[in-house]
Each structure stands twice: as C-alpha cells, then as structure tokens.
A and B are shown apart, each in its own frame.
Chain A
Amino acid sequence: MTLEGCSKRFGERLALRKATLAVEPGETVVLLGPNGAGKSTLLRLAAGLLRPTAGHARIDGVDAVDAPRAMRAGMAYAGHRSQLYRGLTARENLALHARLHGRALDLDAALAAVGLADRADERIDGFSRGMLQRLALARATAHDPVLLLLDEPASGLDADGRALLDGALMDGHGRRTQLVASHDADLPARLGARAVRLDAGRLA
C-alpha cells in the first residue's frame, strides 16, 4: 500500500499535504498524531473511500479508488463509526458482511472472539460504544483480509477490549498489511511495529 505525494483538500482546508508512505506486505504501521492531524483522511484515502486532490493512493499498483472487486475482497477498513446497521442484531450484521463477501463464516466463533457471544441476537442500537467497536473489529477481521486499515480502533474499548485488539493486531503482524491510526504512543512498541507521525496534515 503506497501513498505518493497525496494531498486532500476539503473546501478551504488542506487536510493532508503531499503525504508519501509505503507499507510493505505483512508490515504493521502505526500512525500517530493529535486530533485533526489528518490520520482519518489518510486512512480513507488508503481505503479508496476518498479520491486524493493530488497524488496517488495505490494498492498493489492500482489506484485505491478504482480497486477491483477481487482486491476489495482482501481489504478491510474500520473507521470512527462502526459501519454497522443499528437496527440489526450483531449476528445479522455479520451475516450480511459474510453474504456481501461471499463467505460462509462461523458467526458464533467470530462473535465469541470479541466477547459478544452472549449478545449475538440483540439489536446493536442498545450496544455501548465499546461493544460496537468490538463488533466492528469482528466485522473487519472476519473475512481474514490481507490489508487491514483501522482508525483509532481502541476508542471506547475497556481493558479487555484493548487486549483483544492488541491480540488481533499481533495475530495479523507479518501475515497481513496493517495500518492503524492511534493515540496510543506505546502501541508500536507493543506490536513491534513501525511508527509514523502525522501532524497538521504532514507526515514527519
């Protein structure tokens, strides 16, 4: 996954300035920076959910916004919001995800892995922020993506949830490409990952 001189402007505001970053296959990179630094914008560009104002965001040499279906099948992105349907149950949300990915997933195992086995059939509009984050993590990792993009995945998680998240990231380390935006300055050391700092839209 590469960003080559990527800039993104929203109206008058330049959220990202000529960012260049390469994440090698199997590598884990932690993106650190204060609120408003441009971390979410960078991740959304990497996922192909935003088109850069200048430069290129590429996955395997293909512009991320034009990623074909086969490439999207191996990607996962979890942002600030859970990307789930609030009126559905946890199980129904994962079942829809499996259906869209054409995979027969073990939903019980996926829910148990994030500690939600006993809440599987509850509608998620009653879930706390931390429970939504857990389910979002289950959704993002359920289809075993080769590229995982996570935007502040620890926000709202309790200590057990953070341990689950660390476990999932360590499990993927070396096995898939991971780019994680975080405020946790200790996370790179815990994961043995490369840290990259972003400040006011500029990569340090």
Chain B
Amino acid sequence: MIGAALALARVKLVLELRRREVVFAMLLFVAATIVIVHFALRADEGAGPRAAAGMLWAAVVFTAVLGLLRAFAAEAEEGALDALLLAPVDRAAIWLGSALAQLGFLVVVELVAVPLWWLLFFQEGGPEPLPVIAALLLANIGIALVGTLAAGLALGARTRDVLLPVLVLPLAIPLVLAGVTATYGAFGEEGGGFGPLGPLGFLALYDLIFLALAWGTSEHLLGD
C-alpha cells in the first residue's frame, strides 16, 4: 500500500513540476498575505510575538486550503479516479498519496513563506527556530491528512469549492491554536493551554488520531 501511495504522490509532484498550477498560486497568496499584514500591523515598529505568530498560522492554513481545492483536480480532468478506484490497491493508498503530495506542496511553500515572515517581522531577535519548525512540520502533516480526507469527502459535491473550506477550517482550528501557542512559546513567553503534552505533543497526537481515522474511512469516502 505504501508503494502505491508513494507512486501516486510522485505522479502528483511530477504534474506540479510540469504545470505549476498549485504551488505557484499558494506562494503568491502566502507572500501577499504576509506582506499586507506586515504593513497593516506596522510590524517594523514591533507587532508583538502573539500577533506575528497568529499571522503566520492564519496564512499557512488559508494557503493550505488553496492547495487542497486542487487535491484531486488531476484525477477529475479525465476521470483517472475511476481507474484508481478499480486498481487492486487499498483505497487508503489514494488518500495517502494525495496527502503526501499536499504535504510536499506545503513544505515548499513554507520554505519561502517562513523566511519572508522572519525577515519582515523580526529585524532583530525573533523566536527560537526549532520549536517553530517542529510545530510547522507537525501541523503540515495534520492539515494534509485532514484536508485530503475532506477533499475526498467533497469530491462528488457540486459545491465542493465551498464545502471544502467549511469542512477543513473547523478541523484545523486545534492545529492553529497549538501552532500559535508553540510559536509564542518559542519567544520565551508562556503559551499554556495544552496540559502535560504541550503544543507539540498535542500536534503529534492530533496527527496520529486523524491518520487512524482517515485510514479507516477512506475506503468508503472515495467510493460512490
């Protein structure tokens, strides 16, 4: 199953390299958001760690939704999803392959977005980088897992472009809260609110729960 998922993820990454339909739009959106908020908050005069952290995570989540709207676009073009559904592989592999591709897109986008955020919001000082990077990686996994599951759920709906954000954003709220807390904590401030697990532990637990949930339900979600 892992082999089939990796093959599908590779196909999606190859398609993106050739067509540049998803990542380019995501990059444009996240960069524009960071720059606009930078000027709106007059970040160079000190926006405060909480505002900077919140800004980063809002940009990440909305950018991720933009990518998720195209999660199964390549399959929809010529009905490739039918061939995938009839292939002798676990249907979870279709979901996992798409989730891995989404994870790849998010990482690429953040490789540009996070340095830009850092540059604009923290001329001097800034948070400890490691907790921020760890929180982003864990949250990316959660967003890709949950978002691709929701994209599969919305696939047959005529109003999927509206339905997808409605499904994804409420499920992403815990990720954003934990991400903001972890980022705020990386400034040496007390974030609190996630008990003994801490925000990073919470993010890892969220990923595990939704990995199991999506794995178990993708067989039914992707069918008729």
- A21 in the interface, Cβ–Cβ < 8 Å? no
Contacts of B224 in A (CB 8 A): 49-51, 65
Taking CB as reference atom, which chain A residue is nearest B4?
A: A100
Separation of A98 and B84 alpha carbons in the complex (Å): 12
Cβ distance A33 to chain B, nearest Cβ, rounded Å? 21
- B116 in the interface, Cβ–Cβ < 8 Å? no
Contacts of B4 in A (CB 8 A): 99-100
Interface residues on B, range: 20 to 34
Cβ distance B75 to chain A, nearest Cβ, rounded Å? 8
Contacts of A99 in B (CB 8 A): 3-4, 7
Separation of A123 and B78 alpha carbons in the complex (Å): 14
Separation of A86 and B73 alpha carbons in the complex (Å): 11
Contacts of A20 in B (CB 8 A): none
Give chain B interface residues in 29-43, CB to chain A under 8 Å: none
- B80 in the interface, Cβ–Cβ < 8 Å? yes
Other-chain contact of B78, A50, A69, A85, A100 (Cβ < 8 Å)? A85
- B195 in the interface, Cβ–Cβ < 8 Å? no
Contacts of B173 in A (CB 8 A): none
Total cross-chain contacts (CB, 8 A):
80
Q: Would you call B78 and A84 a contact (CB within 8 A)?
A: yes
Other-chain contact of B88, A65, A82, A100 (Cβ < 8 Å)? A100
Cβ distance A62 to chain B, nearest Cβ, rounded Å? 14
Of A73-81, A109-117, A178-186, A187-195, the segment with at least 4 beta carbons within 8 Å of chain B is A73-81
Q: Would you call A96 and B86 a contact (CB within 8 A)?
A: no
Q: Mark B64-108, 1 if CB is under 8 A from A, else 0.
A: 000000000011011110111111111000000000000000000
Cβ distance A43 to chain B, nearest Cβ, rounded Å? 11
Q: Would you call A88 and B14 a contact (CB within 8 A)?
A: yes
- A159 in the interface, Cβ–Cβ < 8 Å? no
Q: Mark A57-97, 1 if CB is under 8 A from B, else 0.
A: 00000000100011011011101111111111000100011
Q: Choose among B83, B87, B223, B224 the residue with the greatest number of A CB atoms under 10 Å from its CB.
A: B83
Contacts of B15 in A (CB 8 A): 85, 87-88
Cβ distance B223 to chain A, nearest Cβ, rounded Å? 7
Q: List 18 A-B contacts (CB under 8 A).
A: A47-B82, A49-B224, A50-B224, A72-B88, A75-B86, A77-B86, A79-B79, A80-B79, A81-B82, A82-B79, A83-B79, A85-B74, A87-B19, A96-B7, A96-B11, A99-B3, A100-B7, A123-B18
Chain B residues with a Cβ under 8 A of chain A: 3-4, 7-8, 11, 14-15, 18-19, 74-75, 77-80, 82-90, 223-224
Chain A residues with a Cβ under 8 A of chain B: 47-51, 65, 69-70, 72-73, 75-77, 79-88, 92, 96-97, 99-102, 123, 132, 139
